[in-house]
């Protein structure tokens, strides 16, 4: 009947107008299921988020949403909840659903979980891809800023800095940051030490652990938080132990927010616009799905924002000079 009418086809303008009017009046909505069955396209893109509890993924997800919706794609979110099994199950659902593309907001918990999608011909944006991948792009974008952190701390006389994470086996981004800091600390002759917080978020416990490291002989004089959500935990711990920032210990964290800036002293951060990353990847995805051979947009590098939370290492020359004034 009104087959070509709703799309394009050889139809008189008047006829088309009338058909469209009727369709609107009757609230006609073409069935996505039927269309997908026929066209083998679903107009759905999936997003794999390793952990929705981690706020860094939210701007990313938001950007994906914005771009996808603007191009008339719907978005299916998979929250892997840090669990390979959950990830697996949800990705299988996406496979059955036949999403046109899957965007990785971070590395998959288990890479094999992506096989089903790949086999089904789904466009999976990840490392093996052109660099449009958030994963590799992020690693590259963050490196210079990590180095800048090391340079700044070294210049302030710090000799030993601590890298704070929640687990010994950190995720991919934790590993990446650890390596970048190591690469930055070595040429400055700074030691980098790994500090693992225990899972109970008890401020006293955290404080005691940090106290032991900051107030021993040959102390750690600066802490770098592996992730944004770790910063308040560390700060509470320091507060609970009565350790002054930055006089006794400097603090830097990955990831920025209004809270980090509002804190007293304001927190120094390494910040990357993940919003931009999400936007770029999704744009490439939409282009590719439309048949274009689009390359990735370059991602702006992360910035090191120095604020009041870092200062001279206690006992260093810089610190002594400062006190004399």
Partner DNA sequence: CTGAAAGCGCTTACAG
Rule CB under 8 A: choose which of 5, 48, 78, 102 binds a copy of itself. Answer: 78
Q: Which is nearer to a copy of itself, 100 or 184 (CB)?
A: 100
Residue 7 interacting partner from a copy of itself, DNA, none (CB closer than 5 to 8 Å by kind): DNA
Residue 90 near a copy of itself by CB under 8 A = yes
Quickly list H helices, the chain.
3-6, 13-25, 32-39, 57-70, 84-97, 115-119, 134-155, 172-185, 203-214, 230-241, 258-262, 274-289, 317-324
**Residue tagged 């009046």 (tokens):** 25
CA gap 300, 277 in Å, rounded? 9
Burial class, 230, CB count within 10 angstroms (exposed 0-12 / middle 13-18 / buried 19+): buried
Where does this chain touch DNA (CB under 7 A) — which range of 30-38, 101-109, 256-264, 267-275? 30-38
Interface residue with DNA, options 24, 27, 31, 169 (CB under 7 A): 31
Q: Which is nearer to a copy of itself, 44 or 281 (CB)?
A: 44
Convert residues 148-187 into a mask of x (bound to a copy of itself by CB under 8 A) and - (unbound): ----------------------------------------
Residue 9 Cα to chain centre, angstroms: 45
Nearest CB to DNA, comparing residues 120 and 295: 120
Three-class secondary structure of residue 115 per DSSP: helix
At residue 203's C-alpha, the angle toward residues 197 and 207, to 5°, is 70
Q: Which of 221, 213, 148 is nearest to 185 (CA)?
A: 148
Q: Judging by beta carbons within 10 Å of its beta carbon (0-12, 13-18, 19+), is residue 218 exposed, middle or buried?
A: exposed
Name the residue nearer to DNA (CB basis): 34 or 169.
Answer: 34
CB of 275 to a copy of itself, least distance (A): 10
Q: Which listed range, 42-50, 185-193, 210-218, 295-303, lies at the site for a copy of itself (CB under 8 A)? A: 42-50
Strand order from edge to edge, sheet including 191-196: 191-196, 160-165, 222-225, 250-254, 268-271, 303-305
Cis upstream peptide for 55 (omega within 30°): no
Q: How many residues bind to DNA according to rule CB under 7 A?
A: 18
225 within 8 A of 231, measured Cβ to Cβ: yes
Considering beta carbons, is residue 9 or 189 the nearer one to DNA? 9
* Site residues (CB under 7 A) for DNA, limited to 4-23: 4, 6-7, 9-12, 15
Q: Is the peptide bond before 265 cis (omega within 30 degrees of 0)?
A: yes
Distance CA 325, CA 320 (A): 9
Identify the residue among 26, 34, 169, 262 touching DNA (CB under 7 A): 34
Residue 218 interaction partner, one of DNA, a copy of itself, none, beta carbon < 5-8 Å per kind: none
72 binds a copy of itself (CB under 8 A): yes
Residues of the shown chain interacting with DNA in the complex, contacts defined by CB under 7 A: 1, 3-4, 6-7, 9-12, 15, 29-31, 34-35, 37-39
Residues of the shown chain interacting with a copy of itself in the complex, contacts defined by CB under 8 A: 27, 29-34, 36-37, 42-44, 52-53, 55, 58, 61-62, 65-66, 69, 72, 74-79, 81, 86, 89-90, 92-98, 116, 119-120, 201, 229, 231-233, 235-236, 239, 257-259, 261-264
């Amino acid at each position: 009947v009104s087959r070509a009418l709703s799309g394009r086809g050889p139809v008189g303008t008047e006829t088309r107008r009338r058909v469209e009017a009727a369709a609107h009046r009757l609230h006609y909505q073409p069935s996505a299921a039927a269309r997908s069955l026929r066209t083998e396209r679903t107009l759905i893109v999936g997003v794999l988020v390793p952990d929705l509890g981690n706020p860094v993924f939210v701007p990313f997800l938001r950007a994906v949403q914005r771009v996808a919706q603007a191009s008339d794609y719907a978005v299916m979110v998979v929250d892997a909840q840090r669990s390979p099994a959950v990830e697996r199950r949800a990705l299988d659902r996406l496979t059955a659903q036949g999403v046109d593309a899957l965007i990785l907001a971070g590395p998959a918990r288990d890479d094999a979980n992506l096989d089903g999608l790949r086999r089904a011909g789904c466009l999976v944006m990840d490392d093996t891809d052109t660099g449009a991948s958030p994963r590799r792009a992020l690693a590259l974008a963050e490196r210079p800023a990590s180095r800048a952190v090391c340079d700044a701390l070294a210049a302030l006389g710090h000799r030993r800095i601590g890298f704070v994470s929640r687990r010994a086996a950190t995720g991919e981004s934790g590993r990446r940051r650890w390596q970048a800091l190591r690469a930055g600390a070595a040429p400055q002759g700074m030691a980098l030490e790994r500090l693992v917080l225990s899972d109970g978020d008890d401020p006293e416990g955290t404080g005691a652990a940090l106290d032991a490291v900051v107030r021993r002989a040959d102390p750690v004089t600066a802490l770098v938080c592996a992730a944004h959500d770790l910063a308040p935990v560390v700060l509470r711990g320091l507060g609970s132990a009565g350790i002054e920032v930055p006089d006794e210990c400097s603090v830097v964290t990955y990831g920025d927010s209004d809270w980090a800036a509002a804190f007293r002293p304001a927190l120094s951060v390494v910040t990357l616009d993940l919003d931009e990353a999400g936007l770029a990847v999704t744009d490439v995805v939409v282009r590719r799905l439309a048949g274009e051979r689009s390359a990735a947009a370059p991602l702006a590098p992360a910035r090191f924002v120095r604020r009041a939370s870092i200062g001279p290492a206690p006992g260093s020359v810089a610190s002594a000079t400062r006190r004399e004034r």
